[in-house]
Structure 1
Amino acid sequence: MTMMYNPERLALEVLAEICEPPPSVDYLGWAKRNIVFSERITDHPGPYNEDLVPFFSEILRALSPEDPCNIVSLAKSAQIGGTICANIFTLGSLDMAPGDFLYVHPTEENAARWSKTKLMPLVREMPVVAKLFSQNSRDASNSVLYKERIDGRGAIQAAGANSPAGLSMISPRKQVQDDLAKWQMNEAGDPEVQADSRSKAFFNAKVFKISTPMVEPGCKITANYREGTQESYHVPCPHCGELQELRWENMRDHIDPEHPENAHFVCIGCGCEIHEHHREWMVRPENGAKWVAKYPDRARRHRSFRIWMAYSPFERWENLAREWISLQAGGPEKRENGSGAEQTFFNDWLGLAYEADNKAVDWEILRDRAAVSDNTYRGIVPAGVLSLVWGIDVQGDRVECLLIGYGRNRLRAVVEHVVIDNRAGSHLPGYRVHSGHISEPEVRAALDALIAREWTDEAGRKRTVDMTAIDGNAYTDDVWNWVRKHPRSRVIMVRGGNNENAPPIAQAREYDNKGRPKKQKWSSRFYTFAASSFKLRLYRDFKKDDPQRAGFIRFARGFEDDLFQQATSESRVAEKTRSGHTRYVWKLPEGRRNEILDMLNQSLAGAYRLGIPYWTEEQWDAIEDRLGKLEPPRQGDLEDHINQVQPQLPETPEPTPAPAPEARPARPVRKTLTAAEAMRQLNNR
């Protein structure tokens, strides 16, 4: 049988097939058809429910090819469901519009964790996606950071912003830049610029930038929000129908501290109260809720959105009000992170960047605050201080030590400042050193005596220091040789980190040329603290002049002006990188010193290692009870009282070194108890 074909018809059929537009890419519809959340992934298991998070629907439409914009950015509160939105964009793209896809996290470690805990569980629970990828862990196309479709038509590359190599491996049409506000400069420059450049070759590229804001100025997601349409979600009043944005100031001004369960907004139209039970009705588009752009003319290139906790079904308004009340009261039950409780509230709850105090108060204000009559003289532990921590800074010709006291309500008190240098005879009785370097035996002996010394408090009780945090960034081997002779529960090495988004304190890590962690002899006792966040908090607390406010910093009487000048010496300023982009760094003016500022932060790192910022009211009570049981002070003579009011360490003759500490006459036995020992006794009960 002979088959007859019409060549012209065949050519037209092929041409029609080629010219046929691709099927519509509908991320919202795809999510409804395919996503079923398990209890392992979310607290709201079941199929994707648009009614639960209706504000994400328009964002998913903006990510589709039908919307002409190339950039979609979302500034949001924490734990509001933004990652789910990003995962729908990622997996929906690999299914409906295959191609290379780049998903960037702040670090490669974050990227690997996302792949294992977020991406793969979702892939395995979605048959339509699971069939696209190999399930063989030994398959080269199925690694933790790279997952290629079986047919080779597309792949997901997960990368860290800290790795320029990871950002240069593929040229994706689509990408997600997750936790953008936490990205830090890498060795090649600005990682956001590097990631953006990977998609510039495509006229129809889609870049989804998503993050909880951090510190402003310098917050990347906030900058992107301002560059775009600046869309906010408007909802109708349940009483009069007036469309309005839910603003934090509206709720804040109507919070009753005695009844946080009555937290509400007030309609800008009719003045009626809007309560939480109205939320489910208000946020639905069928009732009039919609996104409203401040700059709609920018929509062709960049659509930017902001959504915060008040709209979310995952958190109650009462909890939001309680968090604010607790923050204002400065309750000891607060759990602070490296950026402080106030910043955490603005970032995680309100979805707003926290305005940083880039410059400290004038140093004269701190000096005058220390001179008030009810302050103790330096060297005396003031009332309210329940724990003592040394911060020690190591220089080439001296070692400087700052003693800080900690108490309830985040109180900090600067108690004493000691310098060990070639004039140490005027500071430490019995010690004469030559260069003041940490490697000198005399300097180490002086440090031994200093951290073992007892300090008299206002009640006349003898107190010992709970923790010592010494700078280990310079002369590390010399510092380690001194540190290792002391218990790790009492002495640690610390260094400041340059990552504004790092945890308050973390174990220091060293890496070889291949990026593999190196095991150092001091690894278990060396910690990196969030120096920038500590400085931001310190500068905020410097502005507090009410001793009852949470975070108040108290200075003893008798310090020289130089101490206050050093404590306020640095400023956070904008700096242009070689690539022409802006970053924010801490700068020390030429000719100024900053050892006091460093020691304030080093002491706080020691306090974190001890757990002080996390102690509960009951733990503070236990420490105070034990201190109250110490032996009452003996009745001294007039000379003792004079020395207690304004202690001066006697000078020693120039010649020979003093006898070793163990050769000195033994002190009378006193019943002393450190805060750390009190905590250990409490925990062992």
Structure 2
Amino acid sequence: MKKYRQKPYVVPPWIHKAVQVLRPVERVPVSKWAEANRVLPDSNSIPGPWRNSVTPYLVEIMDAFSDEMVEEIIFVKPTQVGGTSAMENMLASAIAQDPAPAMCVYPSDDLAERTVESKLDPMIKSCKILAAKYRINDSKKLALKFTDMVVYLTGANSPADLASTNIRYLFMDEVDKFPGASKKEADPVSLAKERTKTFFNRKIFMASTPTLKTGHIWKAKEAADVEKHYFVPCPHCGAFIELKFAQIKWPSKEDVPESADRAEMATYVCQECGCVITDQDKGKMLAAGRWKPVRQKTQHPKSVAFWMNTLYSPFTRFSDIAREFMRSKDDPELLHNFANSWLAEPWEDTKLKTNAEMVMERQTETPEWTLPPWTKLVTGGIDVQENCLYWTIRAWGDYMTSQNISHGQALSVGEVERIMNTELTMPNGEKVMVNLALMDSGDQTEDVYEFCALNSDWALPCKGTTTMLSHYRLSTVNKAGSRANGMTLVLVDGGKYKDQIAARMRKENGTGAWMVYQGCDLDYAEQVTAEHKITERSGGKEVQRWVLKTSHADNHYLDCEVYAAAAADVLGVRNLYLQNRVEENAQEVKKRADPKPDTRPQEENWIKDNDNWI
């Protein structure tokens, strides 16, 4: 039998091509993809092929985008550390390796358009893989089309665009510059996130320099499942340390008078061993650095927050940071920018910070229910609650000097009436009572009006408002048929008076200070400092307001002190010091007019002073 040799089967070229197309593409982490494919344009500070060694702290942030377990990545950063470039690498990697609908959100439409022209378009054209997929003729300014996906770009000021299409990838840059929520729409961050709900494998990246604790990026950081900081090894002791601004040291002003010279001599002092670290050490430290969790809620986090300050930037020297601080420290606006853009920390104005310990330090040697010798006015404040009333009594002197005389909680208006009509004794024995007390009419309004009408010699109703330029304004009760109709109503801007109280509380005891009696209780101290002033963004603007430090804290005594201060204003407390000057001037004029002592009998003096009585 004749044997036939079987010819080897040759795969047709078309089948080979089909198999190559159907074969799954091996995906690599974003950092490796960027190093192999990304080319930075000439406009970049370091143009040319992307190198992870330049900014090694970005590697784990980018690779979190490749982690199937991670859904949301938050990057809280200073300016100029490569955060936007990292975001662009994530987008480019998604286009090349795992295409799906994507959206990039910027603070405004104008910025989105400029970003396409200056960054995204050059990035796409300089990368062969992206350029091959780019359908430039079908693309629009804010809709870049590729063979298998679309990248939408929009501004946070366009709510309709944010809610227009479903997306898998969401990138948000400088979210703290986004406008806030409006009466008709939710905030832009929430609107944009809604677009990703239909994808179980969605990815959300948001980056920003922080502005305030109430800003989008800081709230996202606080809500993340895990928060990571970058730690680097000290070149001297090997301990992994977190670079902190407090460890940058420079000579004193006495040793080196010129601030520019002092800044140039700035170095970093290791908090573990005390050795000096210079800018020349930073490169190796960054390369050997690692991200470590400083707070973690769950074992398998879906949202990861990364935080770092400008001390880690390879483009910034320690002396640059010192110089900027010296330039900014005496100007609140510049210091605000330094805290945000250099330290990546939210801004807080500490000038109006108060605490219970500060109140206890304001105790004088005067006991409760005793008036100081400088007293010229006595006012009260009454806060009405559902089941009780809180009250306070405060003495006032020249230059807004004041002291709490007593305070407490009453169970009825009758008890408050007796308290406010209690006789107080001056050091010289003179008897005085509360000149005026303001009573909050925001709750149980009719009853308050009735009470004030019956006690009109010392009580007036008041109501809080925030729409005035002044601290208070006098209005009129308009209640036809009511005993209070036509009575004076005091409109009070509580925020302005809380500013006043907090500022004067910081003064040392003495003229112009806000003080309390000896033996003041801690409950009062805690209530009167239960609020703090925060800055929020509203309608694209920064707005300051007083809020409770904790959600369930009592602030009744603070409200009482606000009303007592407003009552003092109604009585002209700010001009009390002028009375002394008027009396002194009158005596001086009299002395000049009649320098010789009058030795006439008292009867003759009376006749002379009243010689027109006939």
TM-score range, shorter chain: 0.5 to 0.7
Alignment partner, residue 270 of structure 2? 267
Deviations 1:160-179 (A, max 9, x none): 23332111222211111211
Tell me how far apart the structure 1 counterparts of residues 547 and 241 of structure 2 sit (CA, whole Å). 43
Q: Is the 8 A contact 1:134 1:142 kept in 2?
A: no
Tell me how far apart the structure 2 counterparts of residues 371 and 218 of structure 1 sit (CA, whole Å). 36
Deviations 1:216-235 (A, max 9, x none): 14553343255232111111
Q: Is the 8 A contact 2:107 2:157 kept in 1?
A: yes
State whether structure 2 residue 195 is matched by structure 1 residue 198.
yes
| TM-score, structure 1 normalization | 0.49
Q: Is the 8 A contact 1:255 1:321 kept in 2?
A: no
Alignment partner, residue 280 of structure 2? 277
Which residue identity is paired with 2:104? Y
- The number of residue pairs the alignment matches comes to 415
Tell me how far apart the structure 2 counterparts of residues 308 and 231 of structure 1 sit (CA, whole Å). 12
**1:107-118 equivalence runs, <5 A:** 107-118=108-119
Which residue identity is paired with 1:166? D
- Equivalent position SS for 2:171: strand
Return 5+ residue gaps in structure 1 as ranges: 7-11, 373-398, 403-416, 422-531, 547-554, 556-567, 578-582, 595-638, 644-685
- Equivalent position SS for 2:81: coil
Q: Is the 8 A contact 1:216 1:356 kept in 2?
A: no
Alignment partner, residue 165 of structure 1? 160
State whether structure 2 residue 205 is matched by structure 1 residue 208.
yes
Tell me how far apart the structure 2 counterparts of residues 279 and 80 of structure 1 sit (CA, whole Å). 14
**1:46-57 equivalence runs, <5 A:** 46-57=48-59
**1:579-618 equivalence runs, <5 A:** none
Alignment partner, residue 181 of structure 2? 185
Which residue identity is paired with 2:69? P
Alignment partner, residue 62 of structure 1? 64
Deviations 1:634-678 (A, max 9, x none): xxxxx9x989xxxxxxxxxxxxxxxxxxxxxxxxxxxxxxxxxxx
Cα 1:247/1:269, change in 2 over 3 Å: same
Which structure would you say has the larger Rg?
2
Which residue identity is paired with 1:293? P
Alignment partner, residue 304 of structure 2? 303
Alignment partner, residue 389 of structure 2? none
| Alpha-carbon offset, residue 17 of structure 1 | 8.2
| Alpha-carbon offset, residue 368 of structure 1 | 8.2
Alignment partner, residue 46 of structure 2? 44
Alignment partner, residue 351 of structure 1? 344
Alignment partner, residue 73 of structure 1? 74
| Alpha-carbon offset, residue 278 of structure 1 | 0.7
The one of 14, 28, 32 aligned to 2:31:
28
Alignment partner, residue 435 of structure 2? none
Cα 1:585/1:294, change in 2 over 3 Å: same
Tell me how far apart the structure 2 counterparts of residues 201 and 343 of structure 1 sit (CA, whole Å). 40
Deviations 1:53-94 (A, max 9, x none): 010011111111x44211111100112211111111112211
**1:353-368 equivalence runs, <5 A:** 353-356=346-349
Q: Is the 8 A contact 1:358 1:573 kept in 2?
A: no
Tell me how far apart the structure 1 counterparts of residues 279 and 498 of structure 2 sit (CA, whole Å). 35
Alignment partner, residue 559 of structure 1? none
Cα 1:122/1:255, change in 2 over 3 Å: farther
Deviations 1:606-627 (A, max 9, x none): xxxxxxxxxxxxxxxxxxxxxx
Alignment partner, residue 142 of structure 1? 140
Return 5+ residue gaps in structure 2 as ranges: 1-6, 10-14, 257-261, 363-395, 402-466, 476-494, 513-528, 549-554, 564-581, 587-614
- Equivalent position SS for 1:269: coil
Alignment partner, residue 429 of structure 2? none
Which residue identity is paired with 1:169? S
Tell me how far apart the structure 2 counterparts of residues 62 and 306 of structure 1 sit (CA, whole Å). 14
Between the aligned residues of both structures, percent identity stands at: 25
Q: Is the 8 A contact 1:358 1:571 kept in 2?
A: no
Tell me how far apart the structure 1 counterparts of residues 112 and 398 of structure 2 sit (CA, whole Å). 48
- Equivalent position SS for 1:155: strand
- Equivalent position SS for 1:355: coil
| Alpha-carbon offset, residue 282 of structure 1 | 0.6
Deviations 1:225-268 (A, max 9, x none): 5523211111111112111111223336x664542223233324
Alignment partner, residue 249 of structure 1? 246
Q: Is the 8 A contact 1:110 1:160 kept in 2?
A: yes
RMSD of aligned Cα (Å)? 5.4
Which residue identity is paired with 1:352? E
Cα 1:44/1:17, change in 2 over 3 Å: closer
Tell me how far apart the structure 1 counterparts of residues 242 and 320 of structure 2 sit (CA, whole Å). 20
| Alpha-carbon offset, residue 116 of structure 1 | 3.1
Q: Is the 8 A contact 1:308 1:351 kept in 2?
A: yes
Cα 1:222/1:248, change in 2 over 3 Å: farther
Tell me how far apart the structure 2 counterparts of residues 164 and 400 of structure 1 sit (CA, whole Å). 32
The one of 167, 170, 177 aligned to 1:175:
170
Alignment partner, residue 223 of structure 1? 220
**1:232-243 equivalence runs, <5 A:** 232-243=229-240
Cα 1:368/1:103, change in 2 over 3 Å: farther
